[in-house]
Amino acid sequence: MKAIVYENYGGSEVLRLAEVEEPHAGPGQIRMKVVAVGVNGLDYKIRHGWLQHEFPVTFPVIPGMEAAGVVDEVGDGVTGVSVGDEVMGMTTTGCYAQYALATDVALKPAALDWESAAALPVGVQTSHGVLDVLKVTRGETLLLHGAAGVVGSAGVQLAVARGVTVIGTASEANHDYLRSLGAVPVTYGDGLVDRVRAVAPQGIDAVYDATGYDALTASVELRGGTTDRVVTIADQRAAELGVEFFMGTPGPFAAELADYAQLAADGRLSIRIDRSLPLTDAAEAEELNEAGHARGKLILRP
């Protein structure tokens, strides 16, 4: 099969299209013929070698962790999914490829387009897990850094649906977008603490950092000096500041993903799509993602 691979750590120049051996479904696995792939920040961070301890790799590497496609093989012990089903979810093999394996997938609603299906899994699974860790409940106020990004915007929508007031940091160009999602926008950078206090005089109950751009010190200050109920998914300085770094929640997520997929199909949950590119443009997609030039999710189409 055709796949994007890299054989050593480095910049986007290490990515190349190659012919590799097809994976096949083992016990508990399905194989999907990939239709759309979501490009994530972790993809380039792993490729650079910045996360070798958290995400060790064996070269050659096929990048990618979320996809939507059509089931074409079902391993022993798999129930609820059949050959020919349209599915979406996190993959257990790299999915910048024509085929990928998975163990935990949701059926794709017919009304949900392929790009949106591929864009959902990482964003909703990450934000669902962080909000559970933070234990935010109706009537509380959540400060969410990077609220206009793919994961952050999912977090805004999930928190608002729980009855939480969301203060979202983003550039001014994204403020109208955040308002459309139900968040109160504030501009990040110098003076953030004062700006947040101005719009949330009641105080901040919890902080979700989805950006990693040096927001934790201000976050702890806004929490009254405590690191309790402050979680980051992006700032590698978390440990030295005593802040929890969220690495994901183990265990199945298919049932929850199916619910979120139906919300998306019904128009009640959305992930902004920047553009869809052919698999051969994977390097360009990762460059755009790393540079922060994408306004929404980047999708690859094998």
Give which of 186, 187, 126 is closest to 157, Cα–Cα. Answer: 126
* Percent with pLDDT over 70 in the chain: 100
Gap between the Cα atoms of 4 and 239, Å rounded = 34
For helices 150-161 and 114-134, the axis angle rounded to 10 degrees is 60
pLDDT digits (tens, 9 = 90+) for 274-286: 999 999 999 999 9
Domains by residue range for the chain, with CATH: 2-122+250-301 (3.90.180.10), 136-228 (3.40.50.720)
Quote the mean pLDDT of the chain: 96
Does the pLDDT at position 292 exceed 90? no
Predicted local distance difference test score (pLDDT) of residue 212: 80
Predicted local distance difference test score (pLDDT) of residue 286: 97
Q: How many residues does the chain have?
A: 302
Predicted local distance difference test score (pLDDT) of residue 44: 97
User: Can you point out the beta strands (E) in the chain?
Assistant: 2-5, 16-19, 30-38, 66-74, 86-90, 99-102, 104-107, 141-145, 165-169, 184-186, 206-209, 230-232, 244-245, 273-278, 297-301
Of 80-84, 123-127, 174-178, 293-297, minimum mean pLDDT range: 293-297
pLDDT band at 248 (very low <50, low <70, confident <90, very high): confident
Predicted local distance difference test score (pLDDT) of residue 89: 98
Alpha-carbon Rg for the chain, nearest whole angstrom, is: 19
pLDDT digits (tens, 9 = 90+) for 58-74: 999 999 999 999 999 99
pLDDT band at 54 (very low <50, low <70, confident <90, very high): confident
Predicted local distance difference test score (pLDDT) of residue 147: 97
Predicted local distance difference test score (pLDDT) of residue 254: 96
Model pTM score: 0.94
Cβ neighbours of residue 280 closer than 8 Å, sequence gap 6 or more = 17
Mean pLDDT confidence for 90-104: 98
DSSP annotation of 231 reads: E
Gap between the Cα atoms of 163 and 141, Å rounded = 9
Predicted local distance difference test score (pLDDT) of residue 57: 96
Kindly compute the dihedral angle of the four CA atoms of residues 64, 69, 72, 77, in this order, to the nearest 10 degrees.
70
pLDDT digits (tens, 9 = 90+) for 234-246: 998 899 999 999 9
Mean pLDDT confidence for 134-153: 97
Does the pLDDT at position 204 exceed 90? yes
pLDDT digits (tens, 9 = 90+) for 155-193: 999 999 999 999 999 999 999 999 999 999 999 989 999
Q: Write the DSSP assignment of 109-154 as a string of letters.
A: PTTS-HHHHHHHHHHHHHHHHHHHHHT--TT-EEEEETTTSHHHHH
Q: Is the dihedral of CA 237, 238, 240, 241 positive or negative?
A: positive
Q: What's the first-to-final CA gap in the chain, in angstroms?
A: 10
Does the pLDDT at position 293 exceed 90? no
- Phi-psi domain of 89 (left: phi exceeds 0; alpha: psi -120 through 50; beta: other): left
pLDDT band at 21 (very low <50, low <70, confident <90, very high): very high
Q: What amino acid is encoded at 254 in this protein?
A: A
| CA distances in angstroms from 266 to 38, 43, 218, 222, 261, listed in the order given | 21, 30, 37, 36, 9
Gap between the Cα atoms of 279 and 42, Å rounded = 18
Does the pLDDT at position 33 exceed 90? yes
Beta-strand pair 273-278/297-301? parallel
pLDDT band at 251 (very low <50, low <70, confident <90, very high): confident
Cβ neighbours of residue 113 closer than 8 Å, sequence gap 6 or more = none
Does the pLDDT at position 142 exceed 90? yes
